[in-house]
Structure 1
Amino acid sequence: MPPKKKTKKPTKKNPEKSASDLEAKYRRSILDVAVLQDHIAFQCESVIKVQADRVDLTRRMRDMEQKLQHERQDRRDVNSELSRQHKTMQTELGSKVNRLEKEVSQLKEELVLCQDALKKEKREREQVEKEKNTTIADLQHKLDNMETDCEKILHETLDSMTSQLSVAQQGWKGKRTELHQDYNELLSEFGLNAPDI
């Protein structure tokens, strides 16, 4: 409100002038009242608008808080789910690692057994190879001896046969001459000449 104006003590003036002053004051008061009413109306509208904005902001703030609360809850749910999945995966990975470690240990044991079996097999093969080589050498020696014996026997047999043939040849030589003479005589008895036949 505008400050009150100081009122002057009425002085005795002209009544017409006083009436026109009153009218001017009245008009001015009406204008002041109208201005004040406009100002009050503007202030009321501003207050109503501010209150509406306040209600709207309060509602929006409540909505945002609810949304934030939902997002926090969602984040907690996601974190909880991720944590659960992480624990599950960690458990599964741990059991898989344990299983693979057992498999590796078992395979190492099998490898050691296989290596031992391979060494044993190599030793046995080497032993068999040695025995085979020894047997082959013995057989070769026997074969060489047999060959030598056979040659010896063959030479002895051939020498014996040669001497027997020589004796037989000498015996047949005498017999041949005798037979030849007998045949010549027989032929001459029949009147045949042996050189002609």
Structure 2
Amino acid sequence: MPPKKNKTKKTTKKNPEKSENELEAKYRRSVLDIAVLQDRIALQCESVIKVQSDRVDLRRRVRDMEQKLQHTRQDHRDVNSDLSRQYKTMQTELTSKVKRLETEASQLKEELGLCQEELRREKREREQVEREKDATISDLQHKLDNMETDCEKVLHETLDSLTVQLSLARRGWEDKSTTIHQNYKEVLSEFGLNALDI
């Protein structure tokens, strides 16, 4: 009987370990996903900062060019018109790029929030599995203790029974031994011998 109990105990241990391994794998994947998202956000933030810095530099350059153009406006009207057009185009492109990067950063923040929520949910599930596993182990330990008590009880009853049987057998042997000794004494006395002398 005990080997069967051990087998069921092993199989009940394998299933929680398997689910625990799956939860740990999910947890690791979630942690990696969060790290990747954080890296992407950091890169996007650096890009936004660089774009804003470029924008400030471009505005300064444009101001410098406008000052130069004021002195040479008469001679360089075409250049001034072209630079103005380029400035507006670049400003439009930079504005749209900044908006696009801000939208991307917002989406990444949302994804990060979803990943964090999923991570919290998986942690709760893992804690639930841990509680169930502990309850199962406790239940099995209780059953094992009960079996141990029952086995001890059966063993004590068996030993008590054997003690009684041995006691009865001993009395029987002692009675037989006394009868045999008495017979030998009588036989010896018939031959005129004393049993104590022998």
- What TM-score does the superposition give when structure 2 sets the normalisation length? 0.54
Give runs of aligned pairs for residues 103-114 of structure 1, distance below 5 A.
103-114=161-172
Structure 2 Cα separation of the partners of residues 12 and 127 of structure 1? 156
In the alignment, is residue 61 of structure 1 matched against residue 116 of structure 2?
no
SS at match of 1:15: coil
Tell me which residue corresponds to 1:23.
Answer: 81
Tell me which residue corresponds to 2:71.
Answer: 12
Structure 1 Cα separation of the partners of residues 71 and 114 of structure 2? 61
Tell me which residue corresponds to 1:94.
Answer: 152
User: Compared with structure 1, are the counterparts of its residues 13 and 99 closer, same or farther at alpha carbon in structure 2 (3 Å cutoff)?
Assistant: same
Q: Quick one: which amino acid aligns to residue 95 of structure 2?
A: Q
Give runs of aligned pairs for residues 22-171 of structure 1, distance below 5 A.
22-123=80-181, 130=187
Structure 2 Cα separation of the partners of residues 89 and 75 of structure 1? 21
Identity among equivalent positions (%) equals 5
Instruction: Out of 119-128 and 70-79, give the one that drifted further.
Output: 119-128
Could you list the per-position Cα deviations for residues 75-122 of structure 1 after superposition, in whole angstroms to 9, with x for gaps in the alignment? 220121122112212221221222122122212212211211332343
User: Compared with structure 1, are the counterparts of its residues 30 and 125 closer, same or farther at alpha carbon in structure 2 (3 Å cutoff)?
Assistant: farther
Tell me which residue corresponds to 2:26.
Answer: none
Structure 2 Cα separation of the partners of residues 38 and 14 of structure 1? 31
Q: Offset at 1:35?
A: 2.5
Tell me which residue corresponds to 2:8.
Answer: none
Q: Offset at 1:47?
A: 1.3
- What TM-score does the superposition give when structure 1 sets the normalisation length? 0.54
How many matched pairs? 131
Q: Offset at 1:73?
A: 0.7
Tell me which residue corresponds to 2:4.
Answer: none
User: Higher relative CO (CA 8 A, sep ≥ 6), structure 1 or 2?
Assistant: 2
Could you list the per-position Cα deviations for residues 1-60 of structure 1 after superposition, in whole angstroms to 9, with x for gaps in the alignment? 122324343443343723x33332332223222332342243134213312321221122
Q: CA RMSD in A?
A: 2.8
Structure 2 Cα separation of the partners of residues 114 and 24 of structure 1? 132
Structure 2 Cα separation of the partners of residues 35 and 107 of structure 1? 106
Give runs of aligned pairs for residues 173-188 of structure 1, distance below 5 A.
none
Gaps in structure 1 of 5+ consecutive residues: 135-197
Structure 2 Cα separation of the partners of residues 12 and 30 of structure 1? 21
SS at match of 2:60: coil
